[in-house]
Chain A
Amino acid sequence: DVKVTQSSRYLVKRTGEKVFLECVQDMDHENMFWYRQDPGLGLRLIYFSYDVKMKEKGDIPEGYSVSREKKERFSLILESASTNQTSMYLCASSLGGVQETQYFGPGTRLLVL
């Protein structure tokens, strides 16, 4: 079975803090994705990566950056957290083809005070 793990289930941070969300997958998947999920807005793509050290902006990259130094690990960074970044953050991974299923981690619920 595919396993995608996220470093924290719940996080509470203060406005202005730098926040790191870590995601690890154990299936040697080429693609990795970060989404946020908000009521009424569904899942929105923040960033994705097709290979080590590669990154592409998704639909809402502002206020976020990412890092992929190893194939299995994809990190989402909030450089200076703001209250409007309070959300559920979901990581996903998939094989390298176009028609491939994305498998999700359990999510990190982030509260920025």
Chain B
Amino acid sequence: GESVGLHLPTLSVQEGDNSIINCAYSNSASDYFIWYKQESGKGPQFIIDIRSNMDKRQGQRVTVLLNKTVKHLSLQIAATQPGDSAVYFCAENIGVQGAQKLVFGQGTRLTINP
């Protein structure tokens, strides 16, 4: 889920395990979703996206699942590696007046234990 306040939700996993990061979005009319990864001191990096006419999309070691019924998005990372340690956040396109507008979640901090 998404955080409130200053403390991000944290997920700790063992190296080699699979990770699942969740995101609840707000607008049932949102038609496009993106997952970003942000390492400390860097800008957000695109991981994977999904359009609302899909419920699953796979990339390299990552899978995004979209459940429009409950407005829920998840990012699955297979066989996590130390380089996967970062803050992950989702973004939904709420499309104001036909123009692009992304609304970002607060993020989840993923920590990989050796």
Contact = CB atoms under 8 A, between A and B. Distances in A.
Most chain A CB inside 10 Å of its own CB: which residue of B6, B100, B107: B100
Contacts of B34: 101-102
A99 interface: yes
B79 to A, nearest CB: 24
Instruction: Pick from A31, A40, A97, A101 the residue with the most CB of B within 10 Å.
Output: A101
B85 to A, nearest CB: 18
B98 interface: yes
B6 A40 contact: yes
A100 interface: yes
A101 B49 contact: yes
Contacts of B42: 106-107
Interface residues of A, number: 23
Contact of A99 (B31, B36, B46, B105): B31
A103 B44 CA distance: 8
A7 B17 CA distance: 39
A104 B98 contact: no
Nearest to A106: B43
Nearest to B42: A106
B60 to A, nearest CB: 15
Contact of A42 (B45, B89, B95, B99): B89
Contact of B93 (A39, A43, A98, A104): A98
A90 B91 CA distance: 15
Contact of A90 (B6, B43, B99): B43
A61 interface: no
B105 A104 contact: no
Contacts of B51: 99
Interface of B: 3-6, 31-32, 34, 36, 41-46, 49, 51, 89, 91, 93, 95, 98-102, 104-107
Given A102-B102, A104-B44, 16 more contacts: A40-B3, A40-B4, A40-B6, A40-B106, A42-B105, A43-B104, A98-B99, A98-B100, A99-B93, A102-B91, A102-B100, A103-B46, A104-B36, A104-B43, A106-B42, A107-B43
